[in-house]
Structure 1
Amino acid sequence: MTHYLFTIALLPPAVFALFWAVKRKKHTGMAAGFWFDMFLVTLGVCALLAALAYPDSAASFLFLVCAALVFAFLLLFGVYILLGLLLWNTVQMLKRERPSLKHMLTLILALAILALMALPWVLGKSGLFPWLYPLWMALLGTAVFFALHSLVFLTAFYVGKWFPPRKRVDYIVVLGSGLIDGKVPPLLAGRVDAALRYAARQKRKTGREPCLIMSGGQGADEPRPEAEAMRVCPSRFRGQ
């Protein structure tokens, strides 16, 4: 048993090494998020197997109890937590950006999840559920796929923040996202601030100042190009 557990314990470091190799090759991208999730999964499975192999240990018993409680909590309330986060994100986006379809995608996703949850009850009342059960399963599978895709995307986002690139870049490209009345909205201003903050830290650490490239054209409803507005928008990091 000990030899078996030792062999299994080699899996998480191997997966983490693969994640690190992918991240070093391409810092941004979904692949790094996917392999970091795989590392967490293998680490959790190894811990669970170790706890099951030594159930008499107090640490193993405590781990199994905590794992069971977390699993039960997510099973009972996970979907409601997801709905709350999606609605919260919609509110934050509408506070920072103009109302548009792309800024309300999380609201649409939340409504779709609610509809998917209510569909079996509605179809059951009408007597059509047995006939449309395959369609409901297909929709459920699609929802699970997009949920996992969103999880990988969020992991990739936070991995980029936890493991920032080394401070030796030559260029930083800041992507535009639209202006409101010719002014930079809070969400876009946050991007400019992040770029300026990174450039200031690199200059302090290495003396090497990267070139910032503001990217964005001029829409039909915008009085000036986004790049121009981003270049002159106020920031507490300018000049550092």
Structure 2
Amino acid sequence: MGWALVALLALAAGVTAWQDPRRLRIGVYLTLAIGLAVVGLLGRLALLIAGSDDPLRLAWALLIALGVAFSAVVVLGLASVANGILMIRREGRRPANLLSLVFGLGVLGYCALIVVMWWVDRNHTDVALELFFWIVAIGVPLGYLAFVFVAFVGYGLLYGWAADRWARPVDAVIVLGAGLSGERVTPLLASRLDRGRQALERSRSRGKDTHLICSGGQGPDEVVPEAVAMANHLAEQGVDRDLLWLEDASTSTEENLRFSARVAAEHGVESGRFAVVTNDFHVLRAALLLHRMGLEGHGLGARTARYFWPSAILREYAAILWEHRRLNTVLLALSCVPMALLLVRTVASGT
């Protein structure tokens, strides 16, 4: 039954991806399928070990597995804290730059709670048992958030890889703006423009009359619209200005796409296919938004500096949770039921 469910989830992911790969549910299906498959394989391995008629050997195997898993989580927490400190040093103390630090401290705090439970268990078993209940109760909503995070990040990487290799030619390449330094593009925006230029050349080499849309308005601290600076940068790189269309009014990703589609329509592309170029951490969410707006096409990602990626992907994950806030609120509320019941029992026993 278990392997049949794995096959069914894999089939659902494949069918949905064939219909339109710009759906987050594909990542959910794949994560469930892979998770169940791993659990099944570990169960088979445990049975093989238990079949040796040596219970101590099985106990040691389980203890080592738990130790490896716990160590991996601790390493994740420490790496996130180190990345958070690096982000603060290089990018400043803005709230968005604190995400990996806060995430790492949260992970280490949960691990510390487990260590405290183990330490208390040596002399006060009843207290340790109460701590165990709290650890499990807190772990349920954290487990849900971790599952969604793995599904989002894992499928985002898979989608970006597949789109980069098998994407069809497009009528227009939309490069999303990302802030300026005076009248010049920043290194991050330059990487998007380089990726957009590659997509433009690739699409035109396959017979499409493809144009590139520089999309970005003028922020309150910018001396020119982002679209103008982007076009100037591409022209300096040798791109023919006749291939460049400008969209210089947008202030958000949604406006980038809506206004760019309007610009394309003004040039005769009424129902075209688009490639949206952004950074790799943002590519899946941009593609999901493209789908939500009823526009055909795909997302393409430019590489991001390694130190910047963890905080950026956490910010994207928070945005995904917010965009699906109704469903996530319901599921998180359900996952918090054990914690609420435990709190009620603790209060009742205290009175």
TM class by shorter chain equals 0.5 to 0.7
Letter paired with 2:223: P
Q: How far apart in 2 are the matches of 1:234 and 1:94?
A: 31
Q: Once superposed, what is the RMSD of the aligned Cα atoms?
A: 4.3
CA shift, 1:137, in A, is 7.4
Query: AA paired with 2:190?
Result: A
C-alpha contact (below 8 Å) 2:175/2:213 kept by paired residues: yes
Q: In structure 2, do the counterparts of structure 1 residues 187 and 107 end up closer, same or farther at CA, with 3 Å as the change threshold? A: farther
Decide whether the 8 Å contact of 2:77 with 2:108 is kept in 1: no
Tell me the residue number matched to 1:171. Answer: 172
Deviations 1:70-118 (A, max 9, x none): 65322223232244146437746975x6763324322332344445556
The structure 2 residue matched to 1:20, chosen from 14, 20, 36, is 14
- Greater CA deviation, 230-239 or 179-188? 230-239
The offset of 1:220, in angstroms, is: 0.8
Instruction: Give the corresponding residue for 1:151.
Output: 150
1:62 alignment counterpart: none
SS at match of 1:219: coil
For residue 184 of structure 2, give the secondary structure of its aligned residue in structure 1: coil
The Cα of 1:136 is off from its aligned counterpart by 8.1
Q: Which residue of 1 aligns with 2:71?
A: 76
Letter aligned with residue 79 of structure 1: V
Cα distance in 1, alignment partners of residues 192 and 209 from structure 2? 18
Structure 1 unaligned runs (5+)?
1-6, 57-64
Kindly provide the amino acid, as one letter, of the partner of residue 220 in structure 1.
P
2:218 and 2:225 in contact (8 A); partners too: yes
Matched residue of 2:196: which SS? helix
In the superposition, the TM-score normalised over structure 1's length comes to 0.66
Contact kept in structure 2, 1:12 and 1:43, CA below 8 Å: yes
CA deviations on 1:124-144 (whole Å, 9 max, x unpaired) are 9xxxx99xx799877655544
**Aligned residue number for residue 109 of structure 1:** 103
Distance 2:139 2:63 in 1: 25
Does the C-alpha gap of structure 1 residues 116 and 202 become closer, same or farther in structure 2, counting only changes over 3 Å? same
Which residue in 2 is equivalent to 1:59?
none
- Offset at residue 41 of structure 1 (A): 1.6
Deviation at 1:237, TM superposition (A): 8.0
Percent of residue pairs bearing the same amino acid type: 22
CA deviations on 1:20-71 (whole Å, 9 max, x unpaired) are 2222344334322222212212332343455456668xxxxxxxx9998665
Give the C-alpha shift of residue 160 in structure 1: 1.1
Between 75-84 and 229-238, report the one with greater CA deviation: 229-238
Q: Name which of structure 1's ranges 174-183 and 214-223 shifts more when overlaid on structure 2.
A: 174-183
Measured in 2, the distance between the counterparts of 1:43 and 1:110 equals: 28
Q: Partner letter of residue 216 of structure 2?
A: G
Three-state SS of the structure 1 residue aligned to 2:219 is coil
2:83–2:101 Cα contact (<8 Å) kept = no
Q: Which residue of 1 aligns with 2:213?
A: 213
Whether 2:13 is the aligned partner of 1:42: answer no
Residues 80 and 103 of structure 2 are in contact (CA less than 8 Å); yes or no, is this contact kept in structure 1? no
Distance in 1 (alpha carbons) for counterparts of 2:109 and 2:186: 33
Name the structure with the higher strand share. Answer: 2
Cα distance 1:202–1:77, how it changes in 2: closer, same or farther (>3 A)?
Answer: same
Structure-2 separation of matches of 1:236 and 1:118: 54
Q: Which residue of 2 aligns with 1:232?
A: 232
* Paired residue total: 217
Indicate the residue corresponding to 1:183 in structure 2: 184
**C-alpha contact 1:34 1:155 (8 A) present in aligned 2:** no
Return closer, same or farther for 1:110/1:48 CA change in 2, 3 Å cut-off.
closer
Preserved contact between residue 36 and residue 155 of structure 1 (Cα < 8 Å): no
Structure 2: how far apart are the matches of 1:236 and 1:89? 36
Q: Bigger CA drift: 14-23 or 83-92?
A: 83-92
C-alpha distance in 2 between matches for 1:183 and 1:67: 57
Aligned to 1:33: 27
Does structure 2 conserve the Cα–Cα contact (< 8 Å) formed by 1:90 and 1:103?
no
User: Structure 1 residues 182-191 or 149-158, which shifts more?
Assistant: 182-191
